[in-house]
């Protein structure tokens, strides 16, 4: 199972989390997010770009222009793009030529999975998050039994309010397209600052059968 730690910003904290070898680390380039990656100094930018090859660096965007996404992706040497807005399948396909593409969908009821149909074949992963007025990062969990209503072919990440005490419940999810988990706000001591020991415990427990 893949583990994605999202909402990173502090360089020391990023390096501490990277030492735990998650599969993905997410950086949020959406100005309204409390985890927005503000302009970094050159050496910090280079340090993020030089994270171990085994960790995919994912940029998170909300209704951003294609040109701006490419500019930021090149600056931080991003491997993947996560889209949290109303981006179209065509936009996803265009980015997929160069990047791993993750499209996020807000889930509150079974009918919400219908919106994924048009994105099949245009994304490497879907991400199912809790439906709220904001674009993710709510710390709220949706009813995971709803995942049984997803019948698509694209593998997905589970997100939204995942905490350390959810490990056993996560292990019980047997959906054939369940690829991994995206953790964020419940593992923070402050916005964009992760509790390294808590993340370590989560990853260790998740990987132990």
Distances (CA, A) of 67 to 31, 60, 71, 91, 97: 17, 15, 6, 11, 14
- Local confidence band at 138 (pLDDT 50, 70, 90 cut-offs): low
What is the rounded radius of gyration, in angstroms, for the C-alpha atoms of the chain?
16
Helix (H) or strand (E) holding 204: helix 196-207
Q: How far apart are CA 107 and CA 112, in angstroms?
A: 6
pLDDT of residue 48: 82
pLDDT of residue 131: 86
- Stronger pLDDT, 190 or 39, i.e. the higher one: 190
User: Which residues of the chain form beta strands (DSSP E)?
Assistant: 2-6, 24-28, 56-61, 80-83, 100-107, 125-130, 156-158, 178-183, 188-190, 193-194
- Local confidence band at 109 (pLDDT 50, 70, 90 cut-offs): very high
pLDDT of residue 120: 98
State the total domains in the chain: 1
- Local confidence band at 38 (pLDDT 50, 70, 90 cut-offs): confident
Domain span at 153: 2-207
Q: Which of 92, 122, 129, 186 is catalytic?
A: 129
Tell me phi and psi for residue 179, to 5 degrees: -100, -30
Mean pLDDT of the chain: 93
pLDDT of residue 50: 83
**Can 42 be counted among the known catalytic residues?**
no
Q: Are 196 and 15 in contact (CB under 8 A)?
A: no
Tell me phi and psi for residue 24, to 5 degrees: -140, 145
Burial call 113-126: b when 16+ CB within 10 Å, e when fewer: beebeebeebbbbb
Q: Which residues contact 171 (CB under 8 A, 6 or more apart)?
A: 206, 209
- Local confidence band at 136 (pLDDT 50, 70, 90 cut-offs): low
β-pair type (2-6, 24-28): parallel
Q: Which of 6, 92, 122, 123 is catalytic?
A: 6
β-pair type (156-158, 178-183): parallel
**Can 6 be counted among the known catalytic residues?**
yes
CATH number at residue 152: 3.20.20.70
Using one digit for the tens of pLDDT, what is the confidence trace for 153-178? 999 999 999 999 999 999 999 999 99
């Amino acid at each position: 199972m893949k583990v994605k730690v999202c909402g990173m910003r502090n360089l020391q904290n990023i390096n501490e989390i990277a030492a735990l070898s998650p599969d993905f680390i997410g950086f949020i380039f959406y100005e309204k997010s409390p985890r927005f990656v503000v302009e970094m100094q050159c050496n910090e930018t280079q340090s993020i770009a030089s994270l171990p090859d085994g960790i995919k660096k994912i940029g998170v965007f909300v209704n951003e222009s294609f040109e701006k996404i490419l500019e930021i992706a090149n600056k931080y040497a991003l491997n993947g793009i996560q889209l949290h807005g109303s981006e179209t399948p065509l936009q996803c396909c265009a980015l997929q030529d160069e990047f791993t593409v993750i499209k996020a969908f807000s889930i509150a009821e079974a009918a919400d999975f219908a919106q994924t149909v048009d994105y099949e074949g245009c994304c490497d992963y879907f991400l199912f998050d809790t439906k709220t007025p904001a674009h993710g990062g709510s710390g709220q969990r949706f009813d995971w039994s709803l995942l049984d209503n997803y019948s698509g072919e694209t593998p997905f990440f589970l997100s939204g309010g995942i905490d350390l005490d959810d490990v056993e419940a996560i292990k019980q999810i047997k959906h054939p397209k369940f690829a991994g988990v995206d953790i964020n706000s419940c593992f923070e001591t402050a916005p964009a600052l992760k509790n390294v020991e808590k993340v370590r415990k989560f990853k260790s427990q998740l990987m132990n059968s």
